[in-house]
Chain A
Amino acid sequence: MSHIQIKNLKKSYIDQRRIARGEEKSFKNQDIVVLNDINLEFQDGEMVCILGPSGCGKSTMLRMIAGFEKPTSGHVLINGEVVSQPRADSIFVFQHSGLLPWMTVWENVELGVRHLEDTEKKHKIIQDYINMVELGNFENHYPHQLSGGMLRRAELARALAVNPDTLIMDEPFSGLDFLTHMKMREEVVNMHEFIKKTTLVVTHDIDDALIMGDRVIVMSGRPSQVKLERKLSFGRPRDLGSHPELRELRDEIFFMLGVSYAV
Chain B
Amino acid sequence: MPHKRIIYPLVTFFFIIILWELVTRFGDISSNNFPKPIEVLISTEELIVNGKLLKNTVASLFRVSIGFSLAVLLGVPLGIILGRLENAKFLFNPLVQFLRPISPLAWIPLAMLWFGIGDPPAIFLIFLASFFPMVVSTSVAVESIRPTFFQVAANFNFSRYEVLTKIVIPAITPQVITALRMTIAIAWLVVVAAEMIAVQSGLGYLILDSRNALRMDYVMVGMIAIGIIGLLLDFIMRKLGNIESTAWGRLTK
Contact = CB atoms under 8 A, between A and B. Distances in A.
Interface of A: 66-68, 85-88, 91-92, 94, 96, 98, 100-103, 111-112, 142-144, 162
Interface of B: 148-149, 151-152, 154-157, 166-167, 170-171, 173, 244-248, 251-252
A62 to B, nearest CB: 12
14 contacts: A86-B151, A86-B154, A87-B157, A88-B156, A96-B148, A98-B149, A100-B166, A101-B248, A102-B246, A103-B166, A111-B156, A142-B247, A144-B248, A162-B156
A66 B245 CA distance: 29
Nearest to B166: A100
Given A94-B148, A96-B148, A102 B248 contact: yes
A85 B154 contact: yes
A100 to B, nearest CB: 6
Nearest to A63: B151
Contacts of A103: 166, 170, 245
B248 A66 contact: no
Nearest to B152: A98
A112 B248 contact: no
Contacts of B155: 66, 86-88, 91-92
Query: Looking at chain B's contact residues, is the secondary structure mostly helix, strand, loop, or mixed?
Result: helix
Nearest to A108: B152
Contacts of B157: 87-88
Contact of A100 (B149, B251, B252): B149
A83 to B, nearest CB: 12
B252 A144 contact: yes
B154 to A, nearest CB: 4
Contacts of A88: 155-157
Contact of A144 (B170, B171, B251): B251
Contact of B154 (A68, A100, A112, A144): A68
A138 to B, nearest CB: 15
Contacts of A100: 149, 152, 166-167, 170
Contacts of A101: 248, 252
A36 B246 CA distance: 44
Contacts of B244: 142
Contacts of B246: 102
Task: Give me the 5 closest cross-chain CB pairs, A-B, nearest first.
Answer: A101-B248, A102-B170, A86-B154, A86-B155, A144-B248
B93 to A, nearest CB: 22
Nearest to A101: B248
Contact of B151 (A92, A111, A142): A92
A112 B155 CA distance: 9
Contacts of A66: 151, 155
A142 B148 contact: no
Contacts of A96: 148
Contacts of A162: 156
A88 B148 CA distance: 15
Contacts of A94: 148, 151-152
A98 B146 CA distance: 10
A142 B245 contact: yes
A112 B246 CA distance: 22
A88 B156 CA distance: 5
Contacts of A142: 244-245, 247-248
Contacts of A111: 152, 156, 166
A143 B156 contact: no
Contacts of A92: 151, 155
Contacts of B148: 94, 96, 98
Nearest to A99: B152
Contacts of B151: 66, 68, 86, 92, 94, 98
B152 A143 contact: no
A162 B156 CA distance: 9
Given A142-B244, A144-B251, 16 more contacts: A87-B157, A88-B157, A92-B155, A94-B151, A94-B152, A98-B149, A100-B166, A101-B252, A102-B245, A102-B246, A142-B245, A142-B248, A144-B247, A144-B248, A144-B252, A162-B156
B247 to A, nearest CB: 7
